[in-house]
Amino acid sequence: MSWLLTAARRRDGADRIFLVRAAADNAATREASVSLYVQGAPLLARFRIPDTLTAVAGQTLSVPVTVDAATFGPVSSYRLLVAFDPSLLSLRDARAEGTLTNTGWDGPKYGMESIAPDGRAAVLQVSDSTSRVPLTGAGALVTLLFDVRAAALPGPWVRQTTLAFPRTVQRRDGVVRSDALNGHQDAADGVIAFEYRDGLATIADHCVVPLAGREGAAQLENAPNPFNPSTIIRFSLPRETAARLAVLDVYGRMVRLIADRGFAQGEHALRFDASDLPAGVYFCRLDADGASAVTKMILLK
């Protein structure tokens, strides 16, 4: 007979004693114990901004800031820093509608923490709190709304700009701000580890419409990425269907048609060789079964 022993998650490591007691009507009770050191599992939160954001000059860019599935206790407040390029984007608002903090929270508060002297980088702070509905799940914390400025560039243009988590920032008055999740269980020491995935927005003028995937699209990715000179494009289809896989440049022009045929249900992998293409950013677009998916690829040479 054997047993599988699973320790409850704890923040700190410690020696723990596991005791097993076996009893029967026709035999004496037997006990067995073992002492093990169980490694601690620190609290963890993963923040993410999508890297497939698109917008046109003069429109509004909606930026969801999410916390992915992670290990942390109930959270009653958050404070996040987000860096962006103020020459392209101007913060309009921060909203909780449709997010985890929509009900029972006070509502997001936001303001600028710093702007670089050259005007090319700015950091905003957004925060919210509750005394009634602590956060325990994963999803969007807040949605940031930016007005997209019209860049002073000749002709059709496309720009890509990052929306990053700077982790900490020092204001002009010397005060240092940092990201924080402060829950009821963490108020004593506030020990929560953070992981981040910065976002990327593709912005174009009125003559060029950046690509965006439609709802219901199949899964699409490529590796390695960045690549030189070839990469494997992988995608999955929920059912047998016709599919079209193409590579486009930043202006939306097709530079390579990889496949345009029927595919069986399941996983597929196709090789894309870019030996004859210049280095830069490309987009792989999959159209299948009335939906589409787009992934960004970076060719280095």
Q: Confidence class of residue 190 from pLDDT cuts 50, 70 and 90? A: very low
**Residue 18 forms part of a structural domain:** yes
Query: Could you tell me if 235 and 257 lie in one domain?
Result: yes
Return the higher-pLDDT residue of 169 and 102.
102
Q: Of 248, 232, 235, 228, give the one whose Cα is nearest residue 296.
A: 248
Tell me the whole-structure pTM to 2 decimals. 0.60
**3-state helix/strand/coil string of the chain:** CCCCCCCCCCCCCEEEEEEEEEEECCEEEEEEEEEEEECCCCCEEEEECCCCEEEECCCEEEEEEEEEEEECCCECEEEEEEEECCCCEEEEEEECCCCCCCCCCCCCEEEEEEECCCCCCEEEEEEEECCCCCECCCEEEEEEEEEECCCCCCCCCEEEEEEECCCEEECCCCCEEECEECCCCCCCCCCCEEEEECEEEEEECCCCCCCCCCCCCCEEEEECCCECCEEEEEEEECCCEEEEEEEECCCCCEEEEEEEEEECCEEEEEEEECCCCCCEEEEEEEEECCEEEEEEEEECC
**Residue 20 forms part of a structural domain:** yes
User: pLDDT value at position 2?
Assistant: 65
**Residue 99 forms part of a structural domain:** yes
Query: Could you tell me if 54 and 116 lie in one domain?
Result: yes
Query: Could you tell me if 181 and 260 lie in one domain?
Result: no
Interval 263-272 mean pLDDT:
92
User: pLDDT value at position 216?
Assistant: 47
Interval 226-248 mean pLDDT:
91
**Residue 271 forms part of a structural domain:** yes
Cα(231)–Cα(296) distance, integer angstroms: 12
**Residue 213 forms part of a structural domain:** no
Query: Could you tell me if 50 and 198 lie in one domain?
Result: yes
Of 20-29, 66-75, 218-227, 255-264, the one with minimum mean pLDDT is: 66-75
Kindly tell me if the per-residue pLDDT of 81 is higher than 80.
yes
Query: Could you tell me if 29 and 69 lie in one domain?
Result: no
Cα(288)–Cα(235) distance, integer angstroms: 11
User: pLDDT value at position 215?
Assistant: 47
CATH label of the domain that carries residue 55 = 2.60.40.680
Model confidence pLDDT, tens digit, residues 119-178: 568 899 999 999 888 887 788 899 999 998 876 556 567 778 899 998 787 766 777 777
User: pLDDT value at position 189?
Assistant: 39
User: pLDDT value at position 209?
Assistant: 55
Query: Could you tell me if 4 and 137 lie in one domain?
Result: no
Kindly tell me if the per-residue pLDDT of 40 is higher than 70.
no
Query: Could you tell me if 120 and 255 lie in one domain?
Result: no
Q: Which residues contact 98 (CB under 8 A, 6 or more apart)?
A: 140, 143
Model confidence pLDDT, tens digit, residues 192-207: 678 888 988 888 776 5
Longest CA pairwise span in the chain (Å): 91
Return the higher-pLDDT residue of 200 and 272.
272
Query: Could you tell me if 169 and 142 lie in one domain?
Result: yes
**Residue 212 forms part of a structural domain:** no
Q: Domain count for the chain, please give it.
A: 3
Query: Could you tell me if 37 and 164 lie in one domain?
Result: no
Q: Confidence class of residue 212 from pLDDT cuts 50, 70 and 90? A: low
CATH label of the domain that carries residue 288 = 2.60.40.1930
Query: Could you tell me if 13 and 77 lie in one domain?
Result: no
**Residue 292 forms part of a structural domain:** yes
Range of the domain at 132: 44-204
Kindly tell me if the per-residue pLDDT of 217 is higher than 60.
no
User: pLDDT value at position 135?
Assistant: 80
Based on C-alpha coordinates, what's the Rg of the chain? 25
Query: Could you tell me if 132 and 88 lie in one domain?
Result: yes
**Residue 248 forms part of a structural domain:** yes
Query: Could you tell me if 90 and 4 lie in one domain?
Result: no
